[in-house]
Amino acid sequence: MIEVKNLHKSFGDAHILKGINTAFEKGKTNLIIGQSGSGKTVFLKCLLGLFNYEQGSIAYDGKIFSKLSEDEKRDIRAQIGMVFQGSALFDSMTIEENVMFPLKMFTKQSKSEMQDRVDFVLKRVNLADAHKKMPSEASGGMQKRVAIARAIVNKPKYLFCDEPNSGLDPKTSIVIDDLIKEITEEYQITTVINSHDMNSVMQIGEKIVFLKNGYKEWEGSRYDIFKTDNKAVTDFVYSSELFKKVRQMYLEERG
Amino acid sequence: MLYLHYLGTYFLMIAEMFKKPTKWSVMKQLILKEIDDLIIGSLGIVAFISFFVGGVVTIQTALNIDNPLIPKNLVGFATRQSIILEFAPTFMSIIMAGKVGSFITSSIGTMRVTEQIDALEVMGINSLNYLVFPKFISLMLYPFVISISMFLGILGGLAACVYGGYASMGDYIEGVQLDFTPFHMAYAFIKTLIFAFILATVPSYHGYYMKGGALEVGKASTTSFVWTSVVIIVLNYLLTQLLLS
Range in A96-105, A210-219, A226-235 with the lowest mean pLDDT: A226-235
Contacts of A45 (CB under 8 A, 6+ apart): A51
Cβ within 8 Å of A, B 94-133: 110, 114-116, 118-119, 121-125
| d(C-alpha A38, C-alpha A15), whole Å | 11
Digit-coded pLDDT (tens) for A15-57: 999 999 999 988 889 999 988 888 888 999 899 888 889 999 9
- Average pLDDT over chain A reads 87
Cβ-based contacts of B124 with chain A (< 8 Å): 73-78, 80, 106
The answer, for A31 touching chain B at a CB cutoff of 8 Å, is no
Other residues' Cβ atoms within 10 Å of the Cβ of residue A235 = 11
- Which residues in chain B are closer than 8 Å to A90, comparing Cβ atoms? 116, 119
The listed range with the strongest mean pLDDT (A230-234, A238-242, B123-127) is B123-127
Q: Shortest CA distance to B79 belongs to which of B60, B107, B102?
A: B60
Q: What is the pLDDT of residue B78?
A: 94
Whether residue A85 and residue B115 make contact (CB cut-off 8 A), yes or no, is yes
Task: Answer whether residue B224 shows pLDDT above 80.
Answer: yes
Q: How many CB atoms lie within 10 A of CB B97?
A: 25
What pLDDT, on a 0 to 100 scale, did the predictor assign at position A243? 72
**pLDDT bucket at B72, cuts 50 / 70 / 90:** confident
Q: Looking at CA atoms only, how far is residue B24 from chain A in angstroms? A: 10
Helix residue ranges, H only, B164-245:
169-177, 182-208, 214-244
Question: A111 touching B, CB under 8 A?
Answer: no
Number of H helices, E strands in chain B: 13, 0
Alpha carbon separation from B176 to A223, B157, B169, B172, B188 (Å, rounded): 87, 10, 11, 6, 16
Domains and CATH numbers, chain A: 1-79+158-169+189-255 (3.40.50.300)
What is the complex's ipTM, to 2 decimals? 0.81
Region B84-108 average pLDDT: 95
- Please report the pLDDT score of residue A255 as a whole number: 64
HSE on the CB side for A243, CA within 13 Å? 18
* Terminal Cα-to-Cα distance of chain A (whole angstroms): 35
